[in-house]
Every structure is written in structure tokens, then in C-alpha cells.
Amino acid sequence: MKSITANKQRIFGLDVVRALAILLILCSHSTILIFPESESILIKTIQFFGTIGVDLFFVLSGFLIGGILIKHIENKQTSFKHFTEFWMRRWLRTLPNYYLILLINIGLLFVFNTQIPKQLYKYFFFLQNFSNKQADFFTESWSLTIEEFAYLIGPILLFLLGLIFKKSGKWLFLGVTLLVISSAIFYRFIFDVSITTIPHEFSWSKSLRKVVVYRLDSVYYGFLAAFIAFYYTIAWKRYKWLSFGLGVVLFVGVHVYIFIKSLDPDHFIFFFNVYYLSAVSISILLTFPLFSNWTSSGMLQKPIATISLWSYSIYLVNYSIVLLSIQHFIAISDLTTLSKLGVLVGYWSATFILSYLLFSFFEYPIIKFRDSARFKKWITS
């Protein structure tokens, strides 16, 4: 693991973003575990942290992958073969963990004698939440499908439009980015106007926030950040604090507005359906000039880098495997406060232990293979 954690190309600020994102998600899930029925404003606020954590992951993923695609464009590597190599590297990074945890979750259905969800096959093709809400199974996979389709659609559009215009450059990249962002916003607008009556037990989060066609823009705001960082580097660095301040003001302002107006997304409000998710992504984007230029050699660098490296494994195991297993065997509501604290410590401990094992003995060996000369020779031959 030393070669990764000591990698000089790692950017401490981006490790901070990734570590912060997964810790926010763990805090959110902790309240779901210990206080599942609570209506406390404090508990609801902590649960909301998970939403922001996922959005951080979306923008960060878009920023990193967008940067890779820009380098492809600048190096004139925009043939279908080059994009196929990009996909193979990306899939080797994301799919093995996903399919392993999917199979474990299917196994737990039989262990816990739980009903098998309809159209289970969709999970193998990332279609479980493409245009409709997914079943209550392997629920954290909703965000992974959004990212996988984002990685697939961008290069396809770049390739096809490059054939049409006979040229691939930065403006084509920007055009594709804005096209995907505007399309997602448009689909959310159609979602808002197409339903005149709020369905019974409507869930805005399941029906819109976690559906691929409505959320692709979240990743592409990261593409937009990568575009600015690469082509306008001086301004990206010079105005990092101003940009960060604007991002904080936008984020806080949006949520103060929601609090003052007592807005509730489940009551089918136009603001939530069309604008809210974009506003959150833009506020996150504005913080990236600061984070992407943040370097550190202090005491926190190694633990932050470690949590960042384990974040994908943590995301996959913490809810469906650890949290739901605890809920299956323990009646949390019957426990004393001290016992609940013990369960919480057990939840975090089990999550980090399993994540360490998954990363060290499965994810990391695959990363090493992907980065090996043998694999590079194979995909370029």
C-alpha cells in the first residue's frame, strides 16, 4: 500500500474532500442506525450530511475524470480505441468491488430469508435506477450507476461529435459538458410538470435525487471545474479564496432559504425538483480551486490519505452489509443509551475493518494490476 499512500501525485486537498465525503455519509448512516424514527432537527441535519457527502463524491469524480479526458483531447487521443482504453481502466477500478459487494448482498438475502427484489438482473447492468426509483436493495448502488453512465456518455459524445465536426478540442469538451448539464436540468423540469398530483407516499429522494437521468449533471459540474482548472489555471489559483467564499455563501444561503420558507421536497416543490441539486453542485464546485491547490506534509496527511483510499470500500460495505446486518440481529430501540453507544462503536469498527480487508486483499491488488506494464501493454496492443 506504500506506493499509493506515498504517491507524490496525490493532492492533499482532494484527499480531504474524499475523506470528508465518506465521513459525512458514515455520520448520516449512524443516525439512521441509532435513531431511525427520530424527528429531531439535529438528527435530521446529521442525516442530511450523507446527501452532501454523495454530492461531494460526484463533483470530485467529475473533476478527476474530466481532467483525464481533457488530457486525452490535448494528446489527440480521441479515437474510439483510446476511449475504450479509458473505459477499461475505469471499469477495472470500479466494477470488481461493485460486483463482489452485489453478490454478497444477494447472498445475504438468502441468509436473512429476505424477499428477492423484482428485476434483480438490472443491478448487473446498472439499470436499477436509470429512469425510475430502484428497489430497497443494495440501496447505496444508486450513486454508482450515475457515475458509470457519466463516464460512458461523455466519451461517446466526444467521439461522435468529433466525427461530425472533424475536430476534438477544449470547446467540444465544454460543449459536451454543458449539453449533459442542461439535459439533466431539462429532464428534472419535465419531471416537475409531468406529474400534476403528488403520488401516495411520494419520496423526492428516491424518485428524483437517486435517478440517473436526473442526476448526470452532478458529475459534469466536476467536468466544468476540470475545464476551468486546466485551461484557466492562473485564475483558478488566483481567485481560490474568493471562489471558496462564494461557494460557502451559496451553500449556506440556499439552505437558510429552505429553512426560513420551511420547504419540503416531498411536497413537490419546483425549487427542489429543478434548481436545488444544481445549486448544491455549483457551491461544491466553487470550493475546488482551494481544495485542488491545498498541499500538506503535516500529521494529518497519512490518515486522510488512508481514509481517502478506503473510501470506495467504506461506501460499499457500511450500509447494506454492516448496518442492515446489525439491524437484523439487534433491536436498537430496546437498548439503553450506553448499549447504543456500543453498537455505534461496533458499526464504525466493523466498517473500517471490512473496508481495510476489502481494499488490501481485493481492491488494491486489482489497482496494481491495472497500473502494471503488463496490463498497459495488453490494452494498447
The residue behind cell 430469508 is 113
Residues 192, 268: Cα–Cα separation, whole Å: 8
Domain assignments of the chain as residue spans, ordered by start? 2-380
User: What pLDDT was estimated at residue 296?
Assistant: 79
SS3 of 69-103: the string is HHHHHHCCCCCHHHHHHHHHHHHHHHHHHHHHHHH
Q: Indicate the burial class of 12 (C-beta count within 10 angstroms; 0-12, 13-18, 19 or more).
A: buried
List pLDDT tens digits, range 33-79.
999 888 888 898 899 999 999 999 999 999 999 999 999 999 999 99
Q: How far apart are CA 324 and CA 108, in angstroms?
A: 10
Residues contacting 6, CB < 8 A, separation 6+: none
> In one letter, which amino acid is 341?
L
What pTM was computed for the model? 0.94
CA distances from 349 to 194, 326, 342 (A): 45, 12, 10
pLDDT value of residue 1: 41
| Average model confidence (pLDDT) across the chain | 93
142, pLDDT greater than 90? yes
Q: What is the pLDDT of residue 7?
A: 53
Q: Considering all CA atoms of the chain, what is the largest pairwise distance in Å, rounded to the nearest integer?
A: 68
Lowest mean pLDDT among 106-115, 308-317, 354-363: 106-115
Nearest to 143 by CA among 273, 54, 36, 244: 54
Please state the φ and ψ torsions of residue 9, each to the nearest 5 degrees. -80, -10
What pLDDT is attached to residue 4? Answer: 45
> pLDDT band at 5, cuts 50/70/90?
very low
Asked whether 155 and 87 are in contact (CB, 8 A), the reply is yes
Arithmetic mean of pLDDT, 6-12? 70
pLDDT at 32: 95
Cite the DSSP H helix spans in the chain. 2-5, 12-34, 41-74, 80-111, 141-165, 170-194, 204, 212-231, 233-238, 240-261, 270, 277-285, 288-291, 301-317, 324-329, 337-358, 364-370, 373-380
Per-residue pLDDT band for 8 (boundaries 50, 70, 90) equals low
Binning pLDDT at 50, 70 and 90, where does residue 102 land? very high
**Residue 137 pLDDT grade (very low, low, confident, very high; cuts 50, 70, 90):** very high
